[in-house]
Amino acid sequence: MRRIGLVVNPIAGMGGRVGLKGTDGKVEEARERGAEPRAPGRTREALDALREYAGDEGLELVTYGGPMGEDVAREAGFDPVVVGSPNDPDETSATDTRTAVRAFVADDVDLVLFVGGDGTAADVAETLEDEGSRVPMIGVPAGVKIYSSVFAVSPRAAGHVAATFSETERAEVNDVDEDQYREGAVHTELRAVATVPVAEQRQSSKQLGGGTVETLASGFAEDIREGVTYVLGPGSTVGAIKEALGFDGSPLGVDVWRDGEVLVRDGGEREILDALGEENVVVVSPIGGQGFVFGRGNQQLSPAVLRQCDVEVVASRSKLDTIGTLRVDTGDPDLDEELRGWLRVRVGTFERRLVEVV
């Protein structure tokens, strides 16, 4: 019998689609912008996969009360062991997460399955470390910032890994200061080294891609088409394209540009949708070391946005050399499946490389 400890950060990822680049200290603002909880749906996907691969006979789910696991576990058909509840279900905190993890350790779980972003990962890993526990952990990616290598590549993959892993190894937990992140600066901090399952379905730690992108950017600018709306994602590679188009873009946000005019700067999902025209192109660059083009740091590019756009992926040759394949995690499994396959990635003024989206 495998005993899985499930803890959910119910506000994780709420700031993504509304352009806040994180939810730390921004929950009320995210709600005012119309953000909806993302974590419950991601948790349900993971639990469905967990049951599919482990079966009811070989699994016992241990969780925390209310929105931190119990609610979605019962909706998924589980009868979980509940080891405690948050003091205020409407205002859960990192303290609640740490309390839940300590209870899991005391209850001898075999693995901690957590749902959130890098901040939640750090809370879980640091608590396990404080407790002197080598219980492994695996994350369901639900936050905006997901730089650490303790996450599965998708919610379903997290459920699969939790149900089937047999070996463990050590992996880094990194986090980013969200205030600096919102200002365009990415400074990662090593928060912990955690025990994780050995699995191909676990993502790599984010690396910053190298290599010049000037020729790529100038080539893209030369190919701009009149009347087309360009939705330009975050990152330094797409940032070079923004510069080539003649404007100072948001380095870690999404900008919308058409016919020489910036229609939206650092926009959320709603602003982007409102600015779209008859013909639209989303321009993104994969995260170095991981290969994600959607679902990591650019949740503003929601399924609703992507279904109205063509997709253009750009990357330096050196970045592609460190990746091998591309990944998508839009939050819509059907759209993810549509996006998979072989894609021509622009790597220079004219040059393109065929890369598989898996």
288, part of any domain = yes
285 and 138 within one domain: no
User: Which range of residues forms the domain containing residue 235?
Assistant: 214-357
CA-wise closest residue to 299 among 276, 324, 318, 272 = 272
Same domain? 325 vs 283: yes
Pick from 145, 168, 197: which residue ends a domain? 197
Helix (H, G, I), strand (E, B) or coil at 64: strand
Residues sharing a CB contact under 8 Å with residue 108, sequence separation 6 or more, in sequence order: 3
pTM: 0.67
Give domain status of residue 203, yes or no. Answer: no
> What distance in Å separates the CA atoms of residue 172 and residue 190, rounded to the nearest whole number?
7
How many structural domains comprise the chain? 2
The pLDDT value given to residue 180: 52
- Domain membership of residue 334 (yes or no) is yes
Query: What pLDDT is stored for residue 185 in this prediction?
Result: 52
At residue 227 the predicted structure's pLDDT band, cuts being 50, 70 and 90, is: very high
Burial of 199 (0-12, 13-18, 19+ CB in 10 A): buried
Coil, helix or strand at residue 258: strand
Predicted confidence (pLDDT) at residue 357 exceeds the cutoff of 90: yes
| Lowest mean pLDDT, pick from 25-39, 92-106, 133-147 | 25-39
Q: 254 and 187 in one domain?
A: no
- Please tell me whether residues 18 and 153 are part of one structural domain: yes
- The CATH number assigned to the domain holding 164 equals 3.40.50
Instruction: Let me know if residue 207 belongs to a domain.
Output: no
pLDDT at residue 1 tops 50: yes
119 and 70 inside one domain = yes
* pLDDT of 59 over the 50 cut: yes
pLDDT band at 242 (very low <50, low <70, confident <90, very high): very high
Cα-atom radius of gyration of the chain, to the nearest Å?
A: 20
Residues 145, 268: Cα–Cα separation, whole Å? 16
Indicate whether 223 and 190 sit together in one domain.
no
107 in the same domain as 154:
yes
| Confidence band for 276, pLDDT divided at 50, 70 and 90 | very high
Could you tell me the pLDDT band of residue 348, with boundaries at 50, 70 and 90?
confident
DSSP secondary structure letters along 125-156? HHHHHHTT----EEEEE-SS---STTBBSSHH
In a domain, residue 253? The reply is yes
Judgement on whether residues 160 and 277 belong to the same structural domain of the protein: no
Query: For residue 20, is it within any domain?
Result: yes
Q: Is residue 336 part of a domain?
A: yes
State mean pLDDT over 79-91: 94
- For 79-88, 177-186, 188-197, 309-318, which range has the lowest pLDDT when averaged over its residues? 177-186
Structure tokens at 149: 């290598």
The better pLDDT of the pair 355, 280 is held by: 280
In a domain, 160, yes or no: yes
- The C-alpha angle 328, 333, 336, rounded to 5 degrees, equals 35
162 and 28 in a single domain? The answer is yes
Q: CA 341, CA 113: separation in Å to the nearest integer?
A: 30
Looking at the fold, whether 104 and 8 belong to one and the same domain comes out as yes
* Res. 29 pLDDT band, cuts 50 70 90: low
145 and 190, same domain (yes or no): yes
Position 129 scores a pLDDT of 94
> Does the pLDDT value for residue 187 go beyond 50?
yes
